Amino acid sequence: MVGNLVTIKYVTTVRHDMMNFGTFSDDEGNFFDTVHFADSLNRYPFKGRGVYLILG
């Protein structure tokens, strides 16, 4: 999916790792949410506002 980043929620896990919940809008204006667990977030961090390609 391709989505324009709307907001990121930062959450600390019980192991004190950082994870994120992302909210995006698609090209039709629909919103969708994503979960970014610590391992994948370390490899593929958010780089700020813009359009993201989301694979999963």
List helix spans (H) across the chain. 38-43
Instruction: Please give the structure tokens belonging to residue 24.
Output: 């995006």
* Terminal Cα-to-Cα distance of the chain (whole angstroms): 9
Question: Which mean pLDDT values do the consecutive 10-residue runs of the chain (56 residues) have?
Answer: 98 96 97 96 96 93
The pLDDT value given to residue 29: 96
The pLDDT value given to residue 9: 98
Strands (E), the chain: 2-12, 18-25, 31-36, 51-53
